[in-house]
């Protein structure tokens, strides 16, 4: 995206054309209830700070093995600490872009790490230049960062680069487990030190990665995560929400208040919340916000601090950066942007603060996604969502006036569920069924069918839910599936029910609980079922937010010509559970378990949109809306007739127009509507006061009907088919 200046020549680095999978800037929304800084120049400015960091602190040389290597200069420039190698490796992964890959820089730093190992094959924590050990034995925070950087390098630079970063990471993770985890599952400060704990060393995001890479030890790593969260909860000060530099196993403050060590703790906690949505992380960040940050302006931040929140003399990135990250869980966009502005304003800082400015800046700007779960590529040049996922609510589960309204989104389009029965599958849903008039898209008509009840209560709230399902391929040629769906038939159509998703430039977001699934956005311009979609994993037992930026809604790579994503062409959404199958005599693994459940809520447009103010279903008997969108309707002289629906806007002219199994009536004064069959029999008579109405006749037998409307001297007749 950005051209590199002559610093490449100055440093003698090998900076060629990039072949990276996740080019900077990513500017991804992490989900999990987080927000990002939204400055339009955030990535450009941060990149300039990185270029400065390289010129000041990155140094190449030859290690004792006679191999070319590189180091990150410490605050004492003649020395390097292992933590700096970890920071540097992470930076090389995430700042690689479409012009420059920093893989060579990454490899040189890793060579440096390997050149100064102790007896446990872990790097001694302080080194004199390229020559020898200054302080022996390992520091655990460095190992966690280096191991995580190796895993991310696997996804960024790829196995095709000839480097086996993943196996290398797996070996290092095994050493961390053996030498830097205590018998009570707390992280040691180092491989040969186990008398105290350092809260700022606890990187639960890295521990989650270790759980995946070293899958045979997943139970062990989960125990380590749980034990260290227990320690962090105990260490957090009850008055200020701050943490101490050092503490006991039980979290009791031992030495150092909220100093240069502890300042990193909010960054590490926010990192875990952004990537994994840990409830413990959310709780810790919430306490820090409510007890300290909520009443602190960015200009107030300095350190070190007493544990009660008082004191502080040093204004730098060390203290501002991690607090900026902590605000990602606050939903206070104004405050976070203010902290970002202060953070990015620091220049020419010493090594430690300069490194933390970059690391915390990557996370805060959306440029530090979990590459193990991301889709390769970068944002479109016009992307500006910045992770602000406040959005515009589309569903109305919690706000609808009555149960019937909840069956429709704010677009007045219906929620529903379906199975693969139409594709000869044998998958089933456990939701209750009832006979309803439903819209058959393929036939372009309403028909009576057994419709599933999908708007259900989950605890004390309403959600769209598949209670339980079973995936069976049956005679289906492809994978079995069931799904929740939401129609968007009137999107961008310019009809009387006009609304548009054109303002949803940041994509969509929602929360889910249940099995892994595909989130699909169906466009009318896609004719071969290759809908834009993204995989959502893993299964979750607690509500988890998903963010779907437009650039991540991709068509299957196996299909040919791609269809441009046009927000105005969306005509439905689906949340699809897809199982294992045998296709062309070969086993295919689905994304979802054979049985389970799925619930959806808080479906949002990331952007702005307006909604129609009245109910406009294609099929079935309409019912008056709640007071916010309906008023008194007309009356009928025929028993069992369809109740009309009044529209909220003022009506100046009479008008009658045909719809699908309905008419739209604009009545400037009192009006009468008569419905006749083709034999001339009056089958229904309705009277209306002044207003706008949708009058449905889908309950009548199939056929063609004549609908006549009159008001004073005005008369109009239309023909309406009921299919």
pLDDT tens across 213-222, in order?
Answer: 998 999 999 9
pLDDT value at position 122? 98
Confidence grade of residue 720 (pLDDT, cut at 50, 70, 90): confident
Buried b (16+ CB within 10 A) or exposed e, 375-414: beebbeeebebbbbbebbbbbbbeebeeeebbbbbbbbbb
The pLDDT tens digits of the residues spanning 226-281 come to 999 999 999 999 999 999 999 999 999 998 899 999 999 999 999 999 999 999 99
- Within 98-164, where are the H helices? 103-115, 140-157
Q: What is the CATH number of the domain that holds 554?
A: 2.60.120.430
Position 690 pLDDT exceeds 90: no
Q: What does the DSSP assignment read for 432-458?
A: -EEEEEEEETTTTEEEEEEEEP-EEEE
Beta carbons within 8 Å of 238's beta carbon, 6+ residues apart: none
Let me know whether 43 and 174 are in one domain: yes
484 and 353 share one domain: no
Range with top average pLDDT, 161-170, 464-473, 526-535, 550-559: 464-473
Does one domain contain both 130 and 166? yes
> Both tokens of residue 207?
């521990």
Residue 17 or residue 714, greater confidence? 714
pLDDT > 70 in the chain, percent: 85
pLDDT for residue 630: 29
Domain range for residue 662?
A: 635-722
By the 8 A CB rule, do 392 and 445 touch? no
CATH number reported for the structural domain that contains residue 658 in this entry: 2.60.40.3080
pLDDT at residue 78 greater than cutoff 90: yes
What integer best gives the mean pLDDT of the chain?
Answer: 85
660 and 591 part of one domain: no
Among 605, 626, 660, where does a domain finish? 605
Q: What does the pLDDT read at residue 161?
A: 61
Q: Which two tokens stand for residue 114?
A: 């390997």
Beta-strand ranges (E) seen in 6-78 are 58-62, 68-72
- The yes-or-no verdict on residue 458 having pLDDT over 80 is yes
Regarding whether 595 and 463 lie in a shared domain, the answer is: yes
Q: What would the mean pLDDT of 380-405 be, rounded to a whole number?
A: 58
Question: Across residues 483-511, what is the average pLDDT?
Answer: 83
Query: pLDDT category, 403, cuts 50, 70, 90?
Result: low
The answer as to whether 630 is a domain residue is: no
pLDDT score at 657: 77
Q: Is the CB of residue 52 less than 8 Å from the CB of residue 347?
A: yes
Co-location of 644 and 565 in the same domain = no
Whether residue 230 is contained in a domain is answered as yes
Say whether both 360 and 396 belong to one domain.
no
Are 71 and 173 within one domain? yes
Confirm whether 377 is domain-assigned: no
Residue 698: pLDDT band with limits 50, 70, 90: confident
What pLDDT score does 336 carry?
94
The answer to whether the peptide bond before residue 190 is cis (omega within 30 degrees of 0) is no
Which whole number is the average pLDDT over 331-354?
Answer: 95
Same domain, 215 and 359: yes
Higher pLDDT, 26 or 617: 26
Between 238-242, 290-294, 528-532, 551-555, the lowest mean confidence (pLDDT) is in 551-555
Do 661 and 592 fall within a single domain?
no
DSSP assignment of 649-703, as one string?
S---S-EEEEETTEEEEEESSSEEEEEE-TTS-EEEEEEE-SEEEEEE-TTSPSE
The whole-number pLDDT of residue 13 equals: 33
Question: What pLDDT does 618 receive?
Answer: 53
Q: Are 284 and 268 in contact (CB under 8 A)?
A: no
Q: Tell me: pLDDT of 331 over 70.
A: yes
Within-domain flag for 689? yes
- Total domains in the chain come to 3
Query: Which ranges of 252-298 would DSSP assign to H, the alpha helix?
Result: 265-276, 279-291
Domain boundary among 315, 348, 364: 364
Look at 166 and 677; give whichever has higher pLDDT.
166
Question: With bands split at pLDDT 50, 70 and 90, how would you rate the model's confidence at 561?
Answer: low
Residue 543 lies in a domain: yes
* C-alpha of 252 from chain center: 36
User: Alpha carbon of 352 to those of 76, 136, 263, 319: distances in Å?
Assistant: 11, 20, 12, 11
What are the CA-CA distances from residue 204 to residues 167, 427, 501 (Å)?
Answer: 21, 39, 38
Residue 28 lies in a domain: yes
- pLDDT, residue 465, reads 96
Instruction: Count CA within 13 A, CB hemisphere, residue 354.
Output: 23
Residue 636 has pLDDT above 50, yes or no: no
How many Å apart are CA 548 and CA 8, to the nearest integer? Answer: 36
Tokens of 51: 């270029």
Domain boundary, last residue among 346, 364, 382: 364
Whether the per-residue pLDDT at 616 is higher than 80: the answer is: no
In a domain, 484, yes or no: yes
Q: What percent of the chain has pLDDT over 90?
A: 58
pLDDT of residue 39: 87
Q: Give CA angle at 540 (363, 583), nearest 5°.
A: 105
Mean pLDDT over 546-550 rounds to 85
In a domain, 620, yes or no: no
Calpha distance 595→430 (Å, rounded): 11
Same domain, 416 and 523: yes
Q: Are strands 691-696 and 645-647 parallel, antiparallel or unpaired?
A: antiparallel
Query: 703 and 563: one domain?
Result: no
Tokens of 216: 């045979």
Give me the pLDDT at residue 383, please. Answer: 30
| Residue range 313-326: mean pLDDT, rounded | 97
Q: What is the mean pLDDT of residues 524-545?
A: 87
CATH code for the domain in which residue 336 is found: 1.50.10.10
More confident residue, 133 or 635: 133
């Amino acid at each position: 995206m950005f051209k590199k200046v002559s610093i490449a020549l100055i440093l003698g680095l090998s900076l060629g054309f990039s072949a990276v999978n996740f080019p900077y800037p990513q500017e991804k929304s992490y989900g999990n209830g987080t927000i990002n800084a939204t400055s339009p120049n955030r990535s450009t400015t941060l990149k300039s700070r990185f270029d400065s960091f390289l010129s000041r602190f990155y140094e190449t040389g030859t290690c004792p093995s006679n191999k070319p290597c590189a180091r990150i200069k410490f605050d004492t420039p003649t020395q390097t600490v292992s933590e700096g190698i970890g920071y540097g490796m992470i930076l090389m992964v995430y700042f690689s872009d479409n012009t420059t890959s920093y893989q060579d820089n990454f490899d040189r730093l890793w060579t440096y790490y390997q050149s100064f190992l102790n007896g446990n094959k872990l790097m001694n924590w302080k080194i004199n230049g390229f020559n020898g050990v200054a302080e022996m034995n390992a520091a655990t925070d460095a190992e966690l960062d280096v191991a995580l950087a190796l895993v991310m390098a696997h996804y960024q630079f790829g196995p095709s680069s000839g480097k086996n970063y993943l196996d290398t990471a797996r070996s290092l993770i095994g050493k961390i487990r053996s030498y830097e985890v205590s018998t009570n599952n707390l992280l040691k400060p180092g491989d040969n030190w186990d008398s105290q704990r350092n809260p700022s060393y606890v990187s639960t995001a890295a521990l989650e990665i270790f759980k995946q890479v070293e899958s045979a030890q997943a139970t062990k790593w989960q125990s380590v995560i749980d034990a260290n969260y227990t320690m962090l909860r105990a260490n957090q000060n009850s008055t200020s929400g701050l943490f101490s530099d050092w503490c006991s196993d039980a979290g009791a403050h031992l030495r150092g208040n909220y100093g240069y060590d502890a300042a990193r703790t909010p960054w590490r906690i926010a990192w875990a919340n952004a990537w994994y949505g840990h409830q413990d992380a959310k709780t810790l960040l919430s306490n820090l916000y409510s007890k300290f940050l909520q009443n602190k302006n960015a200009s107030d931040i300095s350190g070190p601090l007493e544990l009660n929140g008082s004191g502080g003399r040093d204004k730098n990135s060390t203290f501002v950066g991690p607090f900026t990250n902590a605000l990602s869980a606050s939903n206070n966009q104004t405050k976070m942007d203010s902290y970002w502005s202060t953070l990015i304003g620091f220049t020419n800082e010493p090594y430690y603060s300069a490194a933390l400015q970059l690391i915390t800046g990557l996370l805060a700007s959306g440029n530090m996604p979990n590459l193990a779960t991301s889709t390769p590529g970068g944002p479109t040049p016009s992307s500006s969502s910045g992770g602000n996922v406040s959005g515009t609510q589309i569903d109305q589960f919690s706000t609808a006036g009555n149960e019937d309204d909840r069956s429709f989104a704010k677009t007045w389009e219906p929620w529903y569920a379906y199975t693969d029965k139409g594709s000869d599958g044998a998958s089933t849903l456990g939701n209750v069924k009832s006979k309803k008039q439903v819209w058959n898209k393929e036939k372009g008509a309403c028909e009576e069918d057994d419709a599933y009840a999908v708007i259900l209560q989950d605890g004390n709230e309403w959600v769209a839910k598949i209670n339980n399902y079973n995936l069976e391929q049956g005679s289906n040629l492809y994978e079995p599936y069931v799904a929740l769906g939401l129609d968007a038939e009137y999107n961008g159509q310019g009809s009387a029910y006009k609304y548009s998703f054109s303002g949803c430039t940041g994509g969509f977001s929602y929360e889910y609980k249940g099995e892994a699934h595909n989130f699909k956005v169906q466009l009318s311009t896609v004719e071969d079922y290759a809908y834009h979609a993204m995989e959502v994993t893993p299964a979750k037992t607690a509500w988890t937010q998903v963010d779907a930026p437009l650039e991540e809604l991709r068509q299957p790579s196996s299909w040919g010509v791609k269809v441009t994503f046009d927000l105005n062409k969306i005509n439905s959404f689906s949340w699809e559970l897809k199982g294992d199958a045998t296709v062309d005599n070969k086993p295919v693994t689905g994304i979802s378990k054979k049985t389970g459940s799925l619930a959806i809520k808080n479906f949002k447009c990331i952007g702005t949109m307006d909604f129609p103010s009245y109910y406009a279903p294609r099929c079935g008997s309409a019912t008056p809306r709640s007071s916010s969108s309906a008023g008194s309707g007309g009356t009928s002289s025929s028993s069992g007739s369809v109740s009309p629906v009044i529209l909220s806007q003022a009506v100046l002219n009479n008008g009658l127009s045909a719809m699908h199994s309905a008419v739209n009536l604009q009545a400037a004064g009192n009006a009468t509507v008569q419905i006749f069959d083709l034999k001339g029999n009056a089958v229904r008579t309705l009277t209306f006061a002044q207003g706008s109405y949708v009058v449905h006749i889908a309950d009548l037998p199939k056929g063609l009907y004549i609908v006549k409307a009159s008001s004073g001297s005005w008369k109009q007749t239309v023909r309406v088919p009921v299919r």
